[in-house]
């Protein structure tokens, strides 16, 4: 593969090159990995998109929202990339392609790029692949990168470490729905959007929104937020209502964070986090192979037999790694 050419066409915004580059970073082959690292290294990080994480349980209207919201943005001339982060097991097989068919109009839009989640990826792999895919979308000049995830716990944490803004999409529901959202996820949210605020569901959506607005006020104030954030609002993805207001709030929040240095410090903290994750993964990989694996087994047996304390055995192993 001609990496120089790929880097050039990708930088010019060519979507097929972007798709090829993402396929490269997703590949498990060692030679592909080396090429992917080389490509990412040549692209640099001078372009920054607004990275928006979007989470919500199946059925709340994520695809409908992304389509309406994405089309609104492309209508303003913005280029929008959509990536999905999900361990494949979290979705029924069909919906991976379903992403594309459900966002049919957006996927036909020349200013948009939609990439469904790869199949059979482990969570660690998903994180790396998505992170690199985001970097590729930025290099390809996209203005907004939407990173979608289903609410299955672990994937939210990954997305929160990847995005500039984290949005939780909810559907209107009965009064006890509030307990259904984990506190940790509420704490990550910059904006809660209660979708389906239309027709018969409108009144319920307003109530749900008021409940969440109340719950958000009880959360600890974060230094990276201007007054009034995090916020809860109603939208209707179907009727395309409230989307412009939601976008205005997202822009206001990101502008404020840029002006106060929180944008840059968040990205810096994320970079450090992913560096440490990669080191951790690398160390675990070293431990899984010989000779470390054999030593690990042997020391484990010594510890189990009471011939060495866990601490002493661990120190011996770490000392050996340190020399390696
Ligand atoms: P996802 O699983 O979160 O991606 O949800 P979908 O976008 O597939 O939507 C699930 C269902 O909710 C579909 O039947 C949509 O038509 C419906 N839906 C999505 N957004 C809205 C909305 O704003 N209002 C109403 N009434 N229904 C909606």
Task: State the Cα–Cα distance between residues 29 and 48, nearest whole angstrom.
Answer: 29
Assess whether pLDDT exceeds 70 at residue 210: yes
Assess whether pLDDT exceeds 80 at residue 87: no
Assess whether pLDDT exceeds 60 at residue 95: no
Predicted confidence at residue 1, as pLDDT, reads 74
Predicted confidence at residue 288, as pLDDT, reads 86
63, HSE (Cβ side, Cα atoms, 13 Å): 17
Q: What is the mean pLDDT of residues 200-221?
A: 91
Query: For the segment 231-264, what is each residue's pLDDT rounded down to a tens digit?
Result: 999 999 999 999 999 999 999 999 999 999 999 9
Q: Whose CA is nearest to atom 26 of ligand 1?
A: 196
What CATH code would you report for 1-44? 1.20.5.170
Task: Calculate how far, in angstroms, residue 65's C-alpha sits from the geometric centre of ligand 1.
Answer: 8
Q: What is the mean pLDDT of residues 268-291?
A: 89
Question: Ligand 1 pocket check: which of 55, 59, 64 to mutate, most ligand atoms within 8 Å of Cβ?
Answer: 64
Q: Whose CA is nearest to atom 19 of ligand 1?
A: 61
Tokens of 122: 């482990």
Interstrand relation of 80-84 and 112-115 (parallel, antiparallel or unpaired): parallel
- Locate the domains of the chain by residue range: 1-44, 45-259, 273-323
Q: Which helix (H) or strand (E) holds 254?
A: helix 243-259
Question: Which CATH class, in words, describes the domain spanning 45-259?
Answer: alpha beta
Predicted confidence at residue 180, as pLDDT, reads 63
Task: Calculate how far, in angstroms, residue 59's C-alpha sits from the geometric centre of ligand 1.
Answer: 6
Which residues are within 8 A (CB) of 32 and not within 5 positions of it... i.e. 6 or more apart?
A: 24
Task: Calculate how far, in angstroms, residue 238's C-alpha sits from the geometric centre of ligand 1.
Answer: 7
Query: For the segment 35-81, what is each residue's pLDDT rounded down to a tens digit?
Result: 999 999 999 777 889 999 999 888 899 999 999 999 999 999 999 99
Question: Ligand 1 pocket check: which of 61, 203, 235 to mutate, most ligand atoms within 8 Å of Cβ?
Answer: 61
What is the CB < 6 Å shell around ligand 1? Answer: 56, 58-64, 102, 195-196, 198-199, 201, 236-238
Tell which atom from ligand 1 comes closest to the C-alpha of 195: 23
Contact 234, 277 (CB under 8 A): no
Query: For the segment 118-155, what is each residue's pLDDT rounded down to a tens digit?
Result: 655 555 567 788 899 999 999 999 999 999 987 666 77
Task: Calculate how far, in angstroms, residue 120's C-alpha sits from the geometric centre of ligand 1.
Answer: 26
Confidence bin at 290 (pLDDT 50/70/90): confident
């Amino acid at each position: 593969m001609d990496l120089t050419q790929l880097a050039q066409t990708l930088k010019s915004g060519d979507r097929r090159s972007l798709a090829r580059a993402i396929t490269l970073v997703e590949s498990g082959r060692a030679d592909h990995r080396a090429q992917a690292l080389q490509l990412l290294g040549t692209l640099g990080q001078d372009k920054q998109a607004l990275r928006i994480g979007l989470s919500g349980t199946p059925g709340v209207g994520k695809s409908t929202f992304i389509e309406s919201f994405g089309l609104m943005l492309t209508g303003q001339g913005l280029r929008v990339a959509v990536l999905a982060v999900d361990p494949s097991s979290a979705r029924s097989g069909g919906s991976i392609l379903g992403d594309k068919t459900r966002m049919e109009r957006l996927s036909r839009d020349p200013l948009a790029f939609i990439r469904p989640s790869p199949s059979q990826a482990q969570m660690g792999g998903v994180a790396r692949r998505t992170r690199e895919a985001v970097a590729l979308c930025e290099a390809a000049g996209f203005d907004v990168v939407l990173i979608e995830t289903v609410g299955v716990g672990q994937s939210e944490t990954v997305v929160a470490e990847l995005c500039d803004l984290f949005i939780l999409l909810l559907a209107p529901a009965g009064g006890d729905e509030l307990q259904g959202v984990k506190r940790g996820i509420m704490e990550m949210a910059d904006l809660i959007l209660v979708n389906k605020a239309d027709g018969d569901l409108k009144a319920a959506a307003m109530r749900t929104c008021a409940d969440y607005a109340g719950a958000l006020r009880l959360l600890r104030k974060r230094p990276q937020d201007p007054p009034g954030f995090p916020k809860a609002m109603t939208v209707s993805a179907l009727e395309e209502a409230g989307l412009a207001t939601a976008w205005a709030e997202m822009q206001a929040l990101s502008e404020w964070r840029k002006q106060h240095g929180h944008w840059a410090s968040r990205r810096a903290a994320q970079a450090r986090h992913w560096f440490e994750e990669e080191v951790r993964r690398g160390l675990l990989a070293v431990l899984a192979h010989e000779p470390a694996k054999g030593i690990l087994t042997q020391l484990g047996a010594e510890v189990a037999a009471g011939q060495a304390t866990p601490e002493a055995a661990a120190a011996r192993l770490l000392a050996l790694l340190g020399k390696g």
